[in-house]
Amino acid sequence: MNQHIKRAVLVGVLACAAWSAMAQQAQPRRTPEQLRQLALLDKMDHQDFVEHLQAANACTRARQFDCAEASLVKAAKVAGNAQDKKTLQEARQNLSDQRKAQQEEQAAAERERASVAAAQAAAAPAAVAPAADSMPVECVKLVAAYKACDQVGGFSGMGCRLLADSQYKCPIPATQLIR
């Protein structure tokens, strides 16, 4: 049994050594030209990142949030290092802050509109019936006819009012007449 354990340990050690050797061979050695090209590609990716980030910031300032979001997605695809990712996160936070600011401004504007409407409604003059001595003659006749119609009452009174409206042309709305 002791020999089986030694044999298993030996097989395991040999397997690890073989795997390590294969892993080293799997990674090709890069030539200086390949390293220069990789550095150039990294530089181009960073330039793309900067362009997309600038576009996102411009869209955010213009409050075109869909445009900003699309540019941030493109920038995220080419963010290569930790500094790029930090800058990207700051741009996303700026976008979020601008969205909140716009929502707050819209809510404040809505409150202002409601306040102005309420002030205008309060300042509007109440409908006041004109005094009998300042009403045109036709209106005085119409008021007298309404009073007579009110005494009749019911459907007949309603018919009487319609007849009075057709006979007397008063420029004052019927709701403002003295009854």
**Are 177 and 146 within 8 A, CB to CB?**
yes
Residue 141 lies in a domain: yes
Same domain, 112 and 170: no
**Domains contained in the chain, number:** 2
Rounded distance, CA 176 to CA 2, Å?
A: 116
Q: Alpha helices, DSSP H only, in 27-136?
A: 32-61, 65-78, 82-123
Residues 113 and 138 in one domain: no
Lowest mean pLDDT among 3-7, 27-31, 143-147: 3-7
Residue 31 belongs to some domain of the structure: no
28 or 45: whose pLDDT is higher?
A: 45
Residues 54 and 89 in one domain: yes
Alpha carbon distance 125, 102 (integer Å): 36
% of the chain with per-residue pLDDT over 70: 77
Q: Do 43 and 105 belong together in one domain?
A: yes
Residues 83 and 112 in one domain: yes
Q: How confident is the model at residue 4 (pLDDT cuts 50, 70, 90)?
A: low
Give yes or no for a contact between 146 and 159, defined as CB atoms under 8 angstroms apart: no
Q: Are residues 103 and 148 in the same domain?
A: no
The pTM assigned to this predicted structure is 0.49
Instruction: Considering only the C-alpha atoms of the chain, give the largest distance between any 2 of them, rounded to a whole number of Å.
Output: 132
Cα–Cα distance measured from residue 19 to residue 43, given in angstroms and rounded to the nearest whole number: 35
- Nearest by Cα to 53 from 95, 96, 94, 91: 91
Distance separating alpha carbons of residues 121 and 131, to the nearest angstrom: 24
Domain span at residue 163 reads 132-176
Token pair, residue 173, equals 């709305």
Question: Do 109 and 69 share a structural domain?
Answer: yes
13 in a structural domain: no
What are the structure tokens assigned to 34, written together?
């390949």
Co-location of 115 and 150 in the same domain: no
**Does 140 share its domain with 115?**
no
Model pLDDT, residue 124: 62
Is 12 within the bounds of a domain? Answer: no
- Shared domain for 63 and 104, answered yes or no, is yes
Would you state the structure tokens that stand for residue 18, as one six-digit string?
């073989």
The reply to whether 92 falls in a domain is yes
Q: What is the pLDDT of residues 133-169, one digit of tens each?
A: 566 788 888 888 888 888 877 888 888 888 888 888 8
Same domain as 95, residue 147: no
Q: What is the mean pLDDT of the chain?
A: 81
